[in-house]
Each structure stands twice: as C-alpha cells, then as structure tokens.
Structure 1
C-alpha cells in the first residue's frame, strides 16, 4: 500500500496545524508571531517556507482555531476556545491531527 502525494501532503498539514496549536497553548498569552511559530515547526521537522506557515495559520483562522492580527508585516496568532478544545480533546477540528491522550 503506497501513500499518494496528496494524502501525504494532507498528513503533513494536519500535523503542522496541531503543532501550531500546541505551541500557542504553551504560551501564557496563547499568542505567538509567525516567526516563532516557524521556528517551532522547524523543531518538529516542518522545514517549510514562511508562506506555507502563513497558509496554515490562515486555514486555522478560517476554522476558528486561532485569531490573526497583523501589526506591521508579521502575523500574530492567538489560540481560541475551539483550538484549545481540540488540544484538550474536548471537540475536534477536521483537518487537524488529533492529539494523543496524555496518561
């Protein structure tokens, strides 16, 4: 059984979106700018362009998982209740990897 290119891209996107939500959740303010989120994603193995990071952030905003602000030329993401509910496994967002339960 082989993994086609589009399915692999979907898996990568879902994983990155979860990593973004988790990084935001680790902040007391629930906020990070795209530069710091890019660094967090690289630590998780997602070495992608800044535009790709922005696409993931905009997708998460469309789903209601984050809000976005753009002071200057940098996006700042803020975790929402829907994003937190996903991380806490209370309600799930389609298109975002489901977090593993903590034991």
Structure 2
C-alpha cells in the first residue's frame, strides 16, 4: 500500500470513529473536515466527499443531502468495524485501546 492509500484509509477510520462517538451517529461534512484537521489532515471538501462516497459503497456509512451539504450516518457494519467485531477492507483497522 502506498502512502496516499494509507492516508485515505486512516482518514476514513478517523471519520468513522467520530461518527461512532455521536449520540445520533451522524455528523455533517463541515464537522468531519474539522475532525480530519485534528488528526493533521488538511484536505479539500472534494476529497472528503469522495472518501464519504467510498465509505458508503463499502457499507460503513449512509449519506444524506441537506441542500448543498452532506451528512453521514454510521451503519451497523461501520460500528462493527470501530468496535473490532468485523472488518471492512478499505478502512484502516482500529488499534486496541
């Protein structure tokens, strides 16, 4: 795996963890951008949206459009990945805490 792919997979995990920590399992793209920045990722909105669509294709999240904004909601499969009870290829594996 090259470094760019490692970054993408790690960024997907960061977003998935942030969604998992929410009471309603949802965050909008603006908040997810801030989450990525706390992990040192300074990416464009287009990059974020592409990664969210990949995660939707992998079954980790559901996406909703509200006007011009996207909101992501973690799925049961995405929660299982964060909890380490299942694996979604294409998203970095969470470390044991």
Matched position secondary structure for 1:101: coil
Number of equivalenced pairs? 97
Aligned match of 1:39: 34
| Long gaps (5+) in structure 2 | none
Displacement after TM superposition at 1:71 (Å): 1.0
Structure 1 CA distance for aligned equivalents of residues 40 and 64 of structure 2: 26
> Which contiguous aligned blocks of 4+ residues in structure 1 show a shift greater than 4 angstroms?
none
User: Which residue, out of 9, 17, 23, partners 1:22?
Assistant: 17
Structure (1 or 2) with the larger CA radius of gyration: 1
TM-score by length of 1: 0.92
Gapped regions of structure 1 (runs ≥ 5): 1-5
Question: 1:54-98 deviations in whole A, cap 9, x for unaligned?
Answer: 011000000110000001000000000010000000110111110
Superposed CA RMSD in Å reads 0.9
The TM-score normalised by the length of structure 2 is 0.97
More strand by share: 2
Q: Report whether the alignment pairs 1:83 with 2:78.
A: yes
